[in-house]
Structure 1
């Protein structure tokens, strides 16, 4: 049989393993759930790294049963994973404490202290110190759990921890490393100055490689377990959003996507490093060499609709359909989608959501429309600060569960004043991007020839008749956050 390639996407809710052939066609996939994260205190979010490993083995074992011959032909593996998580290891690679996850907001004070201690932090890292990033989490551990901090031998991101167990190598790719706040993103190298602010040095960091490069090889015990033969390389891989970009083919300058998942992302690839820390833009290395990307990140996208679903007792699809059925244009109600804080553009972990403009005529459908519009306006905020950084966005594809809503896509296209392309049904997520990176690492193939864009099902155009009305509504939306900021100040 011809060679195949395996992508592994480590998420907080589970792990997905996906196989592709030499042409990039998906052969099969399997998923395994992970134990959900826990919140020991308000604003905290933690998970046991052993849960990712258990789910990884389970997903690949399932794939081995359903696609034994194809899995046995694997020559390259790529990894994708949720970013920013602080996995602390001792001298024998023992896990010192639960991983502090990307959506943990406990380290806001440490962020301020880091920026005060190193005035050049933003210039070096290309990003604001945010509680979501890895470095402030370590600063928190240093202050509040000194006995744990003293034992740290290595700090790994989630997918790097899985790589360590699969290969024995402590390695990280550039895109994931850029989200730690320890990387000089322009130079694509660890920064001694950034590390020193948190009391660490290069010995605590994994080795860096590009996402398309070989990072190590699968241990013989796993080669045997899954019926493989010969040498199986493991690619550097990518953080989840960069991996999704590889899966959807957004690796050339100006190409991007809007992701309507639990969180929301407006992602665009760049030919240069273009930070805009004033707008809380994420400026990271891409998973392919000599390429960067920017993101506007919204912490509660479909999570906002799911929240409304829980308090109304109506499922999210029913709410979205009800909003679409009565839609005529902007409503009176406005929703600020800051249920778990916000990154772009406010960088406020303490921000909270608000409904404004409620009246006796407000019903569930109107509240649902306000939620869809509020998240859309958050994307418009991200587009605005990306443009402020000099970024050109030529093409956007829509991905994620929220892209099933026709109204939501119409609102986004109208407010961004851009056509939004919706791919044919298929899997274009992190696991596919990881598999494509595994193929590149194993064969030396040019990423541009491997990471093609998918066939497009439909293109949603802006509704020009609503443009002026939504510009007015967006202006009202923008005025609300500073008006109530003092009440929600972190």
Structure 2
């Protein structure tokens, strides 16, 4: 039969998705781990937790699938982006990994932009933001020079797991693009950036395509878990690149809106252009020689979760949203700006905060609940408008994944605000599916990821825009866009 395993190394858990050649999900297993917050704004993780979680997933799959050990042929890993993992000469971790959601590096980001300015965007296609890896390296050099002196290898979270499984020091282009060290168009580490900050290229992992085999599971792991075949490990990818692959974003014309804790509006790109000037992220795709652009809402699902926990802690989301269908588009004038932890796109402002505006005595809790959903979607429309305005791109359909795809009324709100048909996946498996697809292509089961998507990814129509609501939301959106300028200085 033959199986591939897509591993999703996330911020709070590791998940394994086992699939066969026909694109069927054979089994799923997961394991949680903890975050470390030693100081305000710090977010770290012990890499050994990822290893233990992966071993737990292996053990659970052995229990669930009788021929897992016999038939596993390939593995690829999707990883949380930007995290800094440091190893010494003996390949021991120097310190806990500094994660993507760590905000200690504001000063270092300012330093990088002052040093490079527009040149940074020319090379990396992105501005320096706290989430990226390079500012973390500069912070470590400045604040922990003794630990930096011990550092012989740096890598990203999923690459550490690859190293432990195979003994190989490797990364892929999609994850490397989130470091601010990669020349995105040239697909090589940037000599200019490395030289400026005194970073020896020898400490960086070798670069691969996501579908390339970077190594094989070591004899020690094969013996420990009873694997019978030589198991190839592919380059894998950044979580958003893997989510795009697993959602079939492998050709132009289809956009993706993903609503989790944060929110993402993502689009396939054929070239590493500079149209966005850092206003949107542009990264290498999991597809060789392709790219994807991305705008980010920092508090998407987080805004809805905050609202529920604050105003309806004893109710389910279904109960909280049960009456929003009775509230008209635009929530009778009530507006919500989801900037409760700052905002990424289009403002890159960590200090702005959220707001409800235009409240009056007719507004009920259901008005507020609907306004939260509308505000989150307006924020994601900001990214769509940037893509359209700067490149002329149009979307035939938009795929909704994550929490925003679970509520029928919210799907209709998305269709109306984006003025585009919304589709969903028949089975949503996220980044783990994209990683499994990379493993399948790497094994030669398919010629490329687009061909693989035809077998592994399936859609269904979810909502069509309603012209009356589209007109109303276009008016409301113009008011929403004024909120940032009106409130940022408060």
What's the TM-score bracket when you normalise by the shorter of the two chains? Answer: over 0.9
Q: Which residue of 2 aligns with 1:332?
A: 333
Q: Which residue of 1 aligns with 2:301?
A: 302
Cα-to-partner distance string for 1:234-269 (whole Å, 9 max, x where unaligned): 011111111111112211123331111111111111
Residue 130 and residue 137 in structure 1: after superposition, are their counterparts in 2 closer, same or farther (change >3 A)?
same
Q: Which residue of 1 aligns with 2:67?
A: 69
Question: After alignment, is 329-338 or 295-304 more displaced?
Answer: 329-338
SS in structure 2 of the partner of residue 19 of structure 1: strand
Q: Which residue of 1 aligns with 2:121?
A: 122
Q: Which residue of 1 aligns with 2:318?
A: 317
TM-score (normalised: structure 1) = 0.94
Q: What is the CA distance between 1:322 and its match in structure 2? A: 3.1
Alignment of 1:346-357 (within 5 A): 346-357=347-358
In 2, the alpha carbon distance for the partners of 1:350 and 1:71 equals: 50
Question: After alignment, is 268-277 or 375-384 more displaced?
Answer: 268-277
Q: Which residue of 2 aligns with 1:439?
A: 440
Q: Which residue of 2 aligns with 1:462?
A: 465
Q: Is the 8 A contact 2:132 2:178 kept in 1?
A: yes
Structure 2, gaps ≥5 residues long: none
Q: What is the CA distance between 1:53 and its match in structure 2? A: 1.4
Q: Is the 8 A contact 2:103 2:131 kept in 1?
A: yes
Q: Is the 8 A contact 1:331 1:370 kept in 2?
A: no
Alignment of 1:198-217 (within 5 A): 198-217=197-216
Q: What is the CA distance between 1:364 and its match in structure 2? A: 2.3
Q: Is the 8 A contact 1:254 1:270 kept in 2?
A: no
Cα-to-partner distance string for 1:419-463 (whole Å, 9 max, x where unaligned): 110222x23311111111111112263222212263333331112
Q: Is the 8 A contact 2:72 2:229 kept in 1?
A: no
Q: Which residue of 2 aligns with 1:103?
A: 101
In 2, the alpha carbon distance for the partners of 1:64 and 1:225 equals: 12
Q: Which residue of 1 aligns with 2:423?
A: 421
In 1, the alpha carbon distance for the partners of 2:275 and 2:40 equals: 30
- Alignment of 1:224 with 2:220, yes or no, is no
Q: Which residue of 2 aligns with 1:359?
A: 360
Q: Is the 8 A contact 1:330 1:469 kept in 2?
A: no
Structure 1, gaps ≥5 residues long: none
Q: Is the 8 A contact 1:262 1:303 kept in 2?
A: yes
Q: What is the CA distance between 1:277 and its match in structure 2? A: 4.3
In 1, the alpha carbon distance for the partners of 2:147 and 2:204 equals: 17
Residue 231 and residue 156 in structure 1: after superposition, are their counterparts in 2 closer, same or farther (change >3 A)?
same
Which of 386, 403, 406 pairs up with 1:404? Answer: 406
In 1, the alpha carbon distance for the partners of 2:390 and 2:89 equals: 42
Q: Is the 8 A contact 1:279 1:346 kept in 2?
A: no
Alignment of 1:367-406 (within 5 A): 367-390=368-391, 391-406=393-408
In 2, the alpha carbon distance for the partners of 1:382 and 1:53 equals: 36
Which of 478, 481, 488 pairs up with 2:481? Answer: 478
Cα-to-partner distance string for 1:91-117 (whole Å, 9 max, x where unaligned): 222222222211222212211110111
In 2, the alpha carbon distance for the partners of 1:163 and 1:398 equals: 30
Q: Is the 8 A contact 1:135 1:182 kept in 2?
A: yes
Q: Is the 8 A contact 2:15 2:31 kept in 1?
A: yes
Q: Which residue of 1 aligns with 2:254?
A: 255
Question: After alignment, is 91-100 or 271-280 more displaced?
Answer: 271-280
- Alignment of 1:12 with 2:11, yes or no, is yes
Query: What is the aligned-residue RMSD (CA, Å)?
Result: 1.8
In 2, the alpha carbon distance for the partners of 1:68 and 1:347 equals: 49
Q: What is the CA distance between 1:413 and its match in structure 2? A: 1.3
Alignment of 1:99-248 (within 5 A): 99-119=97-117, 120-248=119-247
Q: What is the CA distance between 1:153 and its match in structure 2? A: 1.5
Q: Is the 8 A contact 2:121 2:278 kept in 1?
A: no
TM-score (normalised: structure 2) = 0.94
Q: What is the CA distance between 1:276 and its match in structure 2? A: 4.2
Question: After alignment, is 353-362 or 215-224 more displaced?
Answer: 353-362
Q: Is the 8 A contact 2:247 2:430 kept in 1?
A: yes
